[in-house]
Amino acid sequence: MQKSQLKAVDFFCSGGGMTNGMRRSGINIIAGIDFDEDCKETYELNNPNSKFILADVFDLKESELEKNLSLKRNDNDLVLIGCSPCQYWSIIQTSKEKSSKSKNLLGEFERFVKYFNPGFVVVENVPGIASKKEESGLAQFIIDLEEIGYKVKSKVVNLNDYGVPQTRKRFSLVASRILNDFVFPIPKRGKKPVVRDFIGIQNGFKKISAGHKDSSKFCHSASKLSDKNLKRLIGTKNNGGDALWWRSDEDLGREKYRGDGFRDNYSRMSWNKPSPTITTKFFSISNGRFAHPEENRAISIREGATLQTFPKRYTFYAKSIQGKTRMIGNAVPPEYARRIGKAIIDSIKS
């Protein structure tokens, strides 16, 4: 890793996925901002010298942030990163009422962009923010950036093309005020990463059973399974087997699962394919194709983090399992973040 002159502030930083990847690219992340206090310990202990600012962006004033971090306006070396919580625009079923506040976060982030006028702006979010660009405010956000002198590049990408072993589609935007042309992260040609490349015994994950608790920082812990769910999984074929076999079974089936609906729920990952999108519910086999390819359990907390490309030394501190899985599932995969940072640095050099 070669240090650059660039420094950044990571809005909506959560547990630090974007921060960690950008740091590894050589960008100095001055601070991360989030309203969830549970993220502070995870963020700061894994990303030393990057300050965690506990704040709700709706209440945070531009001048307050300027003073707190000794930032300068019109700084060509400043990057503002906005990866706002995306539940409202997600295709995954969520409570729109509970997540409605998140739909306006892009506009709040824009306040800081206009105030600081940084050299670069980075936005990462679910594809829904682009497919509903008028409603989400993305269309106006891009117009506003261009009107104040930014060159904007954006697209929906599959992160499996960028070193992440998931089928995870995301919207990405990079804008620059100082470069007329710059390189967007380039997708990888040839073999793409798959589950086998990241988890399994060959990658340092010992075999465990459902309900296993790992009290170490590695956190190779797996959720418990009911007797019925364990029987369902035992009978499911290894390496990509689905749950259709038991859904009409008199003892194991349930009416709502008969037919082809919810095919991925209770199903196994495949060794030689990318995993599905790691969500905040990856710890439960009832919420997607989150069963281990061959062991009779859901993937562990550490396996989920590893499929998100967090380093194995990255430690998650939270009061509950749900707190840890929320930080992992909501994160920008660090490897993709690293590639965004590297693309920006390479563009400046060239």
pLDDT 10s digits, 28-52? 999 999 999 999 999 999 999 999 9
- Per annotation, catalytic residue among 13, 39, 83, 86: 86
- Nearest in space to 328 (alpha carbons), one of 291, 282, 274: 282
Q: Which pLDDT belongs to residue 102?
A: 54
CA distances from 16 to 9, 77, 194 (A): 12, 21, 23
Kindly list the domain boundaries of the chain, sorted by start residue.
7-190+332-349, 199-308
Lowest mean pLDDT among 103-112, 116-125, 165-174: 103-112
Higher pLDDT, 327 or 88: 327
Contact 76, 178 (CB under 8 A): yes
Lowest mean pLDDT among 101-105, 185-189, 190-194: 101-105
Q: Which pLDDT belongs to residue 188?
A: 84
Cα torsion angle, 49, 50, 52, 56, sign: positive
CA–CA dist 104, 85 (Å, integer)? 10
Q: Residue 86 catalytic?
A: yes
Residue 91: is its pLDDT beyond 50? no
Residues in the chain: 350
Which of the listed CATH numbers 3.40.50.2300, 1.20.810.10, 3.40.50.720, 3.40.50.150 matches domain 7-190+332-349?
Answer: 3.40.50.150
Over the chain, what is the mean pLDDT?
91
Confidence of residue 90 (pLDDT cuts 50, 70, 90): very low
Helix ranges restricted to H, 119-252:
128-131, 133-136, 138-147, 227-234
pTM of the model: 0.92
Residue 290: is its pLDDT beyond 80? yes
pLDDT 10s digits, 197-238? 999 999 999 999 999 999 999 999 999 999 999 999 999 999
Q: Which pLDDT belongs to residue 99?
A: 45
Q: Which pLDDT belongs to residue 103?
A: 60
In CATH terms, the fold of domain 199-308 is: DNA Methylase; Chain A, domain 2 (3.90.120)
Query: Of 90-99, 132-141, 329-338, which has the strongest mean pLDDT?
Result: 329-338
Q: Per residue in 252-275, is it b (16+ CB within 10 Å) or e — as a string? A: beeeebeeeebeebbbbbbbebbb
User: Could you tell me which residues are beta bridge partners of residue 8?
Assistant: 29, 79
Give all strands (DSSP E) within the chain, no chain letters: 7-11, 28-34, 51-54, 78-82, 120-125, 151-158, 169-176
